[in-house]
Chains A and B, each alone.
Chain A
Amino acid sequence: MIRWLAGLIGFGLAATSALAAEPALIGVGYLGIAGTRSTLSLVEQPAENDGVAGARLAIEDNNTTGKFLGQRFALEERRIREGEDVVQAATALADKNSFIITDLPADALLKVADALRGRGTLLFNAGAIDERLREADCRANVIHTAPTRAMLADALGQYLVWKKWSRWLLVVGSHDEDRLFADALRRAATRFGAKIVQEKTFEDKGGARRTDSGVTLIQRQMPVFTQGAPAYDVLVAADESEVFGAYLPYRTWDPRPVAGSAGLVPRSWDAAQDQWGAIQMQNRFVKLNARRMTALDMQAWTAARMIGEATSRTNSGDAKKVTDFIKGPDFSVAAFKGTRLTLRDWNLQLRQPILLVDGRMVVSVSPQEGFLHQVSELDTLGYDRPESKCKLK
């Protein structure tokens, strides 16, 4: 405590005197895949700069603070095209940047993490929600600002149970990530006392997401697909692949709400989030990027802000010092979610409230009232310390 205080005092002096000196340059890399995925809803179609736009705003925010501290932040973006070597790209980025924010699939991220382990580069996983990156495949040089599937599913599960919609009709897509999300939803049902009354698989038989008279067909298909289900309160869809989820609301045979991948969706962030001072950041984002802010933008913003928070608290751009501080017990970051966000020290996952959104409004924010935990109520979302299989190395 005394040492910590003394550090702060010393820092106060240093901060004042550093004004005149040449600013210290802190390089932040952003590594993603070129191109965007296709969504059912045209309004949900991600922008080319989805994610990196959030990092850019945080770099601006960091620079506003940095001008008082003699620190300057620069962002270097790199997008991998098909056939390009992700490790080569990451290594090139790491030459100039001690910190790299990534939006990569799990396997690519693991390759990069292992290749850069010896260099002291700190990676921030802003994009991948896979559980295994925080469990069996966790890495000591990867911080996760993206929530996990289990965190998202638990956030939704708590709300549905609070609402007393405890009988779920689970509809699962036929792709691997759909099945993984379904696993997380089943786990949430078991944990919070909901019952899955029936499971259905929606087979992806291919086909275009954009057609001229698609609505007519979908309107015939969806009621029939959901016909004959046992009594249920809510249809929960696991469709990360964007094949059918968005077709379900208002088209189920029984008049029931839809949640999961469509309807009421759990997300780390939403353009409609305006509580806890978020409106100022939403305004800054729109001003800078001429569009609204997505969950991926927020996950990248948070990563870049974590770097800025640590460089200002340690008054240093040194990768080792900054990394130690971020992983240390005194680290927290404010991210407009009503509470400080901290890292789970056993797997470097950022604890965070999850928003439940319907595309227009924030309907609720989990954890829900009454879901208690001895350490942090945020740890009622996702895998907790005693369940963790992660051994950081």
Chain B
Amino acid sequence: MQIEVRTQMLRMGRVGLLAGLVLAASPAHAFIAYVSNEKSNTVTVIDTDSWTVTKTIKVGQRPRGIDFTRDGKFVMVAVGDDDTIQMIDAKTQAVVDSLPSGPDPELFAQDAAGKILYVANENDNTVTVIDLEKRARLGDIQVGVEPEGMTISPDGKTLINTSETTNMAHFIDTASRQIVANVLVDARPRFAEFKHDSSEVWVSSEIGGTVSVIDPKKHEVIGKVTFEIPGLRKEAIQPVGIGMTKDDKTAFIALGPANRIAVVDVATRKVAKYLLVGQRVWHMAFTPDEKYLLTTNGVSNDVSVIDVAAQKVIKTIQVGELPWGIAIAP
């Protein structure tokens, strides 16, 4: 729909009506997406209005986890092989600073106020706690083998970390920085995502091939999302990234080498639809207006754009090599 309007706009623009029409058609706000390219050691900047790459930023080695600071001023990108998290100034789009993250940072989460950052350090089974303002390390929390997925409850009181070889979601009290519960999930848990109403946390298991739905109060697995794609081996279905709409009605789950995003009805935990995207899809981000969902497709080196309402892939954008994570400016 949006695309059609724009095409029309451009056509008419040629006859000199462009300026007036831009206002009249009132297109979606342009957002800026930042994509970490694990192999290229770069971050690709995408304009979501024109769907074009506007800049490629050189960063440290093996960029993976990526997110904005809450004030929108910086993009933080975990560069695992340089053992740090780099800060990209969103205005100048250049690396301006780095954080003392601990060895091999991969994914991280920040508290609601944007003051404390929690980083999963895969190499030494710890979560590092960082004061974002002072850029100082506050301490470590011992977790299971190969910590990876990180998320914070909407009320900021509980941090969830998943450990890939221990196969658990660790529930950590952010005040005391102590583990309060460990919930066993299927093999190689990669990513955790809270429902916006805090009633459930969803944890993807890459090798187990499932998403566990956990009751965060009782610390119990209360259900599982399973996937079946005709003509595809079970082993090729490897869930990783999860995106949930703000109304908590629809979840989008990246299925890795199955090259698909599963669209899941959150209430029934059943897959409604599979969307074919690029190869080895890992992570995703919504535009703030939730009109679009962008996914990173590692092996095909591109980003797929999904029209959220229509549940259709509308565009593919070439980025760097092995795109991994994505963040969109608030």
Contact residues of A with B, CB < 8 Å? 5, 8-9, 11-13, 15-16, 61, 64-65, 68-69, 277, 280-281, 283-284, 305, 309, 312-313, 332-334, 339-340, 376-378
Cβ B221 vs Cβ A334 within 8 A: no
Partner of A334, one of B104, B181, B187, B219: B187
Can you offer 16 A-B residue contacts whose CB atoms are under 8 A?
A5-B224, A8-B184, A8-B221, A9-B222, A16-B181, A16-B219, A61-B165, A61-B166, A64-B145, A68-B144, A69-B182, A280-B122, A283-B104, A334-B207, A376-B233, A377-B233
- Is there a chain A Cβ closer than 8 Å to B167's Cβ? yes
Cβ B188 vs Cβ A12 within 8 A: no
Partner of A312, one of B104, B122, B167, B223: B167
Partner of B145, one of A5, A16, A65, A340: A65
Smallest beta-carbon distance B255→chain A, Å: 14
- Cα distance A376–B164 when bound, in Å? 24
How many A-B pairs fall under 8 Å by CB?
Answer: 83
Cβ B207 vs Cβ A332 within 8 A: yes
- Is there a chain A Cβ closer than 8 Å to B193's Cβ? no
List chain A residues, Cβ under 8 A from B222.
9
Smallest beta-carbon distance A329→chain B, Å: 12
- Is there a chain A Cβ closer than 8 Å to B220's Cβ? yes
- Is there a chain A Cβ closer than 8 Å to B60's Cβ? no
Known contacts A340-B187, A340-B235; A64/B221 CB under 8 A: no
Number of interface residues of B (CB under 8 A): 32
Known contacts A65-B165, A65-B167; A12/B219 CB under 8 A: yes
Known contacts A16-B181, A65-B167, A312-B184; A9/B221 CB under 8 A: yes
Contact residues of B with A, CB < 8 Å? 104, 122-123, 125, 144-146, 163-168, 170, 179, 181-184, 187-188, 207-209, 219-224, 233, 235
- Cα distance A235–B220 when bound, in Å? 57
Q: Which residue of A lies closest to B257 (CB)?
A: A338
Known contacts A339-B207, A340-B209; A64/B166 CB under 8 A: yes
Cβ B146 vs Cβ A277 within 8 A: yes
- Cα distance A65–B142 when bound, in Å? 11
- Kindly list 5 other residue pairs between chains A and B, CB separation below 8 angstroms, not including A9-B220, A61-B165, A65-B168: A9-B222, A65-B163, A65-B165, A312-B184, A376-B235
List chain A residues, Cβ under 8 A from B165.
61, 65, 281, 305, 334
List chain A residues, Cβ under 8 A from B144.
64-65, 68
Partner of B221, one of A12, A277, A305: A12
Q: Which residue of A lies closest to B180 (CB)?
A: A16
- Cα distance A312–B145 when bound, in Å? 14
List chain B residues, Cβ under 8 A from A69.
182
